[in-house]
Structure 1
Amino acid sequence: LFHGLFVLSGCYGTLGLASGGVADTQLSASSALDWSTRVWAPSGARLKKEGLPWAPSQSDQLQWLQVDLKKEKRITGIITTGSALSEEKCYVSAYRVLYSNDGKQWSGYKESNSIFQGNNNYGDEVRNNFIPPIVARFVRINPISWYKRIALKLELLGCQKCRVA
């Protein structure tokens, strides 16, 4: 039923991580793993992009990945995957979503006890809908459990051009 409402509202399209509409400079993180001459940078966190996902320099619950959407948007969901590299099959199994309009004061998403079920393997896409939607400029993903190490690719879903009020 809820999925049908999003279809009618037109507010479940992608917000530009996979397509490149969100620039690398709009992605930041608490840290990035620099391992074996390769950096697992925030720019790797784009869903469907080949190569390394984002991974922090250490796996603990203090890590985060941030997306700056440049202006307030209605965000209706998120899709995540892990690392599909044969030598590093790892993923985030649960996470919190925080959001902000100024990048300084953050609110945690309150539905689902604010903890979202992530992946249970590295390759499948897992979608979580935000009911009600988030209206924000900044979104942070804060992993709280993972398999092997934190590794994440994502896409945000929502409205590119619809009113946020």
Structure 2
Amino acid sequence: MIIKAKNITPENFLSFGKIVIGAFGKPTLQAADYKFWSDIINYKIDGDTEIGICTVYKKATNSINGMERHLNTPEILIPIEAPFILPLLTDRDKPEQAEAFIVDIGQAIAIDEKVWHGACIPLNKSECSYFVIFKKGTPFSDVEKTNLPEITIEP
């Protein structure tokens, strides 16, 4: 199966979570030397959180054959030095309904609990890193994996 990655918007990402694309409207606080926008998105994590960094590498093809999900925490991803493609599938959809989104530098996404997601795929780079924020201990206690028929993602 082949799917085309799409540019992410709050509307087309809504069934998977929330996105920060930039600061809009009147700042919450500002002075001569700063502007601050508060409460751009909300998500709930019970307990302590952790911040990690994941680095992914370009493969010969932009293909995946599995995804993972977390039942007890959202997952926040923030590109560091390069954009990436993120494959996703809601918990009620079939593999052929998978979608992929391009997440750019300066954007942040909060993937809802129970949403299946593949490893990010570097876009136009041989590798890319991104911050990962979720409930502390998630990699050891809240990862469910599933195999899928191969999905190739076109940028």
TM over 0.5: no
Higher alpha-carbon Rg = 2
TM-score norm. by structure 2 comes to: 0.33
TM-score norm. by structure 1 comes to: 0.32
Whose helix fraction is larger, Structure 1's or Structure 2's?
1
Whose strand fraction is larger, Structure 1's or Structure 2's?
2
